[in-house]
Structure 1
Amino acid sequence: MYTAIGGDDAPGGPGEAGPLLSRPSETTLTDQVAVDDESHLGRAALVRQEAWWLLGSSVPLILAFLCQNSFNFVSMLSVGRLGVNELAAASLGVMIVNFVVLMPSIGLANALETFCCAAYTASEDKTRVGLHTQRGLAAVTLQLAPGILLFALIDPLLVLLGQTDEVSALCGQFLRIWLLGSWPMLAFECLKRFTQAQGIMQAGTWVMAVVMPIHVANSYLLVWSPALGLGFIGAPIATAISSWLLLLGMVLYIALGRARACWGGWTWACLDNMWEFYRMAIPSAAMLACSWAAFEMSTFGSSAFGPVAMAAQACIFSAMSITFQAPAAVGSAAATRIGNSLGVGKHRRARFAAYTAIGAGYIIGIASSLLLFWYRRSWGYIFTGDERVIALCTHLMPFFAAVQTYDGMNGVTGGVLRALGKQSLGAMLAFPSFWILGVPLGFYLALGPLHLEVVGLWLGLAAAVIAFSLPQQWYILFRVDWRHEVKVCLSRLDRASRPKGLAAPDMLCVPADSYGAIA
């Protein structure tokens, strides 16, 4: 029988004042927790270990995130020189894709970080990681249905919403072609989290390293090449091709590597207890959607001020997407580390992993803000030669640079909350921050008596981002009972991993060699 967490531990954190659990009288999963045998390690030693682990794990994730995000960056770059209407249509298309497909679907996929990371160390049967991944694949597949219907009818809807006929037609073409690569992109997201849960952080990086040059070449050949160039529609075709290549590359990586041991083969059992998955996935999607949709709403709002304002907003959002990837990767790595640690009962290590990630997030965020401000006059030239767009981009960049640190911190804290299964808290904070404070304030400043236009939209976003970021950090630093979260984690895995007809899962926390997964 396993011993409950208790005994000597380093003081100074929530939930570590004394024993929380006692030795159970009956052997049940949720009452059994592994001994946290790291009480001999001081805080400084844990911070050093977690900092080195985070550095080694985040770098490949940052490279993978940047490469994946650069798909849209390259697409915007390839169509930006075609004209203002093409750039505006591509920007609007990316916004609609984000709003309708990627926001809810990636939010659903993010729930895999709650289940897969803990299941990898908490379960004797490692194929439980594959079982949870299959649930994620099923969820994102179902989520595509509304997008398919909407994109088929999008052209007249955009005209009704005030877009010009040319921008609406171009945007409709972009969206319908993009759909061809939508499912493989979402499946790649799920499989990427499947490998990350096993500590294989470099999987996405290697796949991206192969696909990225192909995407750059296709973006030129299909848009600009005299022989093969198709103009505007070449950009979404290149993206669709790259999405299928990403999925193929990840499947081959898993099939040929050690990650395949956790797959276990397709099984209808993945549809059992789907509600337990959705209990985490729906708040995860809501948390992401509330914040992401607010940014996309400001893009749509900028369209009211003409193609120049919308094109400049697209340039700024490209900067935001690029600089967000590093802290988002840190948050994803932290989610893996914290989930693995909770699954094996290492609550102190989980706590210091979270603290280290927050510190790293501030370092990255401040550095990004300074770089954006320094190069504010040069950024617009990357996308367009239109001086009106460049001037507006230069004017907007300081407002974005000022809030970038806190926007990045939301990527870090989001990863920590996902590891803890606290997505509902993030969703509850995100809605009032963005939709009661940020969006109304931004539109008031943009369209109200001050008539600040796009600047007003960004001021509203800045207020929302800060209001969302600070309470999350406070909760993680001062309110989380890390010892108790071990029991909560095991209870969640117990409910989610028990197929129909099985009296109890085969997970016992924790096999003797599981600590190697997080050492």
Structure 2
Amino acid sequence: MSKQFKHTTQERRSSVIYSNSNGKGGLFSPQDYITGDKTPAFIDDDISENTEESLLATNNSRTLQEEYGSLGRAGSSDSTEIQSVLPKNLIQEERDLLMDNKLYNSNYGAYNRSSYHSTDLNAAIAPTSSVEDQEVIETWEDAIESGKNINTTFKREAIVITTNASPLVLTFILQNSLSLASIFSVSHLGSNELGAVTLGSMTANITGFAAIQGLCTCLDTLCAQAYGGNHHHLVGVLFQRCAIITIVLSLPILFVWWQWSEQMLALFIPERELCALAAKYLQVVALGIPAFILFECGKRFLQCQGIFHASSIVLLICAPLNAVMNYVLVWDKNIGIGYLGAPISVVLNYWLMALGLFAYTYFTKNEINPMKCWNGVIKPRQILKNSKKMFNLALPGIIMVEAEFLGFEILTIFASHLGTSELAAQSIISTIASLAYQVPFSISISTSTRVANFIGASLYHSCVITCKVSLLLSFIISSLNMALIYKSRFLIARLFSSEPDVVNLVSGTLPILALMQIFDAFNASTAGCLRGQGQQKVGGYINVFAFYCIGIPVSYVLTFHYGFGVSGLWWGISSGLVIMSVCQSYAVFHCNWNEIIRAAKSRNSEGAMV
């Protein structure tokens, strides 16, 4: 079964966290840095005396490959059992590859064997779908065991990657639109207001959202382990425990936002007016923090059960509402209140997102029935139980998310020392960079899943083809982004601001951003390949080195020592992305494939034994 063609990174499709940051270093989730620990991640004595034996012995989230690993090749002649275990899309992928390699004929392959085992002529002529699926599974097994070559094609990989990436593009753009709406609505009020939103958002990210999201990453492991061990009600306990602890820990931060945010910002930002406006932003956004925590925890509560689309459905509703609210609360002549309308819109949407997720959980007709993991409100004595285990998983997550957020926010601090117009321009350029990044990032997620599929099937030659196709698609997309940004640079600048200084700064820097698209896309693509190979730590270390040792120092030198201004910030980041892309490409194509496959088999066998 270890050679079954399977998804190994399905969770990552929906685990991408929303943030106002570009997150160029955030291609590797915090979970990537805390896998491989062989000690039990979580034990709760509320369930049973045998909990320690029943829960996973590793910190790895239980993936689809592990879910189906112990059953798919059990040798049962009951095709219904196999069909119920293996997802239909996985069998279809095997069928397509077998047909490409002329090892299976969909018109005749399944008919041959079924006719031998049935005295019913109609059954032989029109076999059931389950019989066909069984035929595909057995044909694939036979091909692998006999050493036959199964290779994919450039055409098939291009189709698969683009098909899988398409819905992700929509989801990520909807996520990005939440911050885009605030930036766009406030930018026309003036450079001071735009700079204040940027500073407020930056401070909220570093001191609040990053820590919250890092803490919530512990549920990626704990809930998945509990659910995989059939301790369904424990999933609800873990969800509540994490939410309560995170809300309690956030209260001191929110108090600081309310009382001392202006003084705190004044330590780093010279313009006092910007600090005052940013402090007001923080005071309003603080009201939405509990809802944000509930949404992040609730999202993971559903994801561990295999429900990945709930947050996308909620975003399809809330993202358009957010845009409407920003217009009404900022610009409407009767209701609009100007600058503060933007953070109020953020708060309202956080609460709507949390309520929407809970409404889905309660009312959904999904056959998985997520309410089976809810066993009532947590008891007070359960809140702090085993919290040490939770923090052991959460702290690495906090560190990695903070590192991601801090990197690009340092550039915002640099820009604030150049002037109000420069800070406003930096905010607009960062927003465009983040929006342009969504397509290559979606390709990256699709690539990581596809590469992991082939690794699980020991087909590393097909992995190489997938990686090459991913780079090619990234180059095509980035070329289109580059052309669009360059040709529309004056229009983009005027859409976001009517102030001549800001427009000139933005339009003068966007050509640099346009050139950066090539390396930004290569960075995303190669990171996806590394995730699929299981080399997340390698990619993460390259990210940290390229960003903090190359990108940010070069940005500082060019901006403040050579007078490049805002352009210097983006030349520096571009240099970091060049190093990042080159190093990651080398790691992808010069890896030890045998060792990667061996490690994958080891992980899968561990999952199958649980």
Same fold (TM over 0.5): yes
| Displacement of 1:430 | 2.7
Matched with 1:148 is 254
Matched with 1:62 is 169
Matched with 1:264 is 373
Rounded to whole Å, the distance in 2 between the matches of 1:433 and 1:337 is: 26
Secondary structure at 2:335 match in 1: coil
**Is contact 1:29–1:509 with CA below 8 Å preserved after alignment?**
no
Matched with 2:275 is 168
Q: How does 1:348-367 map to 2 (within 5 A)?
A: 348=459, 351=463, 355=467, 357=470, 359-367=472-480
Which deviates further from its counterpart, 221-230 or 192-201?
192-201
Q: How does 1:55-134 map to 2 (within 5 A)?
A: 55-107=162-214, 123=228, 125=230, 127=232, 130=235, 134=239
User: Counterpart of 1:43 in structure 2: which amino acid?
Assistant: N
Matched with 1:225 is 332
Per-residue deviation, residues 352-378 of structure 1 (Å, max 9, x unmatched): 797365554444333322221221121
Question: Which gives a bigger RCO, structure 1 or 2 (Cα 8 Å, sep 6+)?
Answer: 1
Per-residue deviation, residues 289-314 of structure 1 (Å, max 9, x unmatched): 43442221111101111111111111
Matched with 1:483 is 597
| Displacement of 1:470 | 3.0
Per-residue deviation, residues 434-491 of structure 1 (Å, max 9, x unmatched): 222221221111111x221222222211112222333234323432643233245358
Q: Does 1:508 align with 2:602?
A: no
**Is contact 2:186–2:330 with CA below 8 Å preserved after alignment?**
yes
Q: Does 1:401 align with 2:401?
A: no
Q: Does 1:470 align with 2:582?
A: yes
Percentage of identical aligned residues: 26
Per-residue deviation, residues 213-261 of structure 1 (Å, max 9, x unmatched): 2212211222222322222111101111111111222223334124544
**Is contact 2:214–2:395 with CA below 8 Å preserved after alignment?**
yes
Matched with 1:329 is 442
| Displacement of 1:163 | 3.2
Matched with 2:564 is 452
Rounded to whole Å, the distance in 1 between the matches of 2:598 and 2:208 is: 36
Rounded to whole Å, the distance in 2 between the matches of 1:369 and 1:271 is: 52
Which deviates further from its counterpart, 98-107 or 230-239?
98-107
Matched with 2:498 is 385
Q: 1:129 to 1:331 in 2, by over 3 A?
A: farther
Structure 2 regions of 5+ residues with no counterpart? 5-54, 59-65, 74-139
Rounded to whole Å, the distance in 2 between the matches of 1:398 and 1:117 is: 45
Rounded to whole Å, the distance in 2 between the matches of 1:444 and 1:306 is: 17
Q: 1:160 to 1:247 in 2, by over 3 A?
A: same
**Is contact 2:233–2:374 with CA below 8 Å preserved after alignment?**
no
Q: 1:49 to 1:182 in 2, by over 3 A?
A: farther
Matched with 2:353 is 246
Secondary structure at 2:563 match in 1: coil
Matched with 2:313 is 206
Which TM-score applies when normalising by structure 2? 0.65
Rounded to whole Å, the distance in 2 between the matches of 1:143 and 1:489 is: 35
Matched with 2:24 is none
Larger Cα-atom Rg? 2
Q: Does 1:425 align with 2:531?
A: no
Rounded to whole Å, the distance in 2 between the matches of 1:357 and 1:227 is: 50
Q: 1:471 to 1:462 in 2, by over 3 A?
A: same
**Matched length:** 466
Which TM-score applies when normalising by structure 1? 0.75
Per-residue deviation, residues 152-197 of structure 1 (Å, max 9, x unmatched): 3110122232332321111001012112223433443454466567
**Is contact 1:339–1:420 with CA below 8 Å preserved after alignment?**
yes
**Is contact 2:151–2:459 with CA below 8 Å preserved after alignment?**
no
Q: Does 1:316 align with 2:416?
A: no
Rounded to whole Å, the distance in 2 between the matches of 1:262 and 1:334 is: 33
Per-residue deviation, residues 50-78 of structure 1 (Å, max 9, x unmatched): 65444343222221211121111111111
Q: Does 1:43 align with 2:151?
A: yes
Secondary structure at 1:161 match in 2: coil
Rounded to whole Å, the distance in 1 between the matches of 2:157 and 2:237 is: 27
User: Counterpart of 2:500 in structure 1: which amino acid?
Assistant: E
**Is contact 1:50–1:352 with CA below 8 Å preserved after alignment?**
no
Rounded to whole Å, the distance in 1 between the matches of 2:465 and 2:472 is: 10
Secondary structure at 1:466 match in 2: helix
**Is contact 2:226–2:232 with CA below 8 Å preserved after alignment?**
no
Matched with 2:89 is none
Structure 1 regions of 5+ residues with no counterpart? 7-27, 495-506, 511-519
Secondary structure at 1:508 match in 2: helix
| Displacement of 1:82 | 1.6
Say what the alpha-carbon RMSD is for the aligned residues. 4.1
Matched with 2:553 is 440
Rounded to whole Å, the distance in 2 between the matches of 1:132 and 1:419 is: 32
**Is contact 2:407–2:548 with CA below 8 Å preserved after alignment?**
yes
User: Counterpart of 1:265 in structure 2: which amino acid?
Assistant: W
Which deviates further from its counterpart, 110-119 or 425-434?
110-119
Secondary structure at 2:277 match in 1: helix
Secondary structure at 2:270 match in 1: coil
Rounded to whole Å, the distance in 2 between the matches of 1:359 and 1:191 is: 37
**Is contact 2:268–2:413 with CA below 8 Å preserved after alignment?**
no
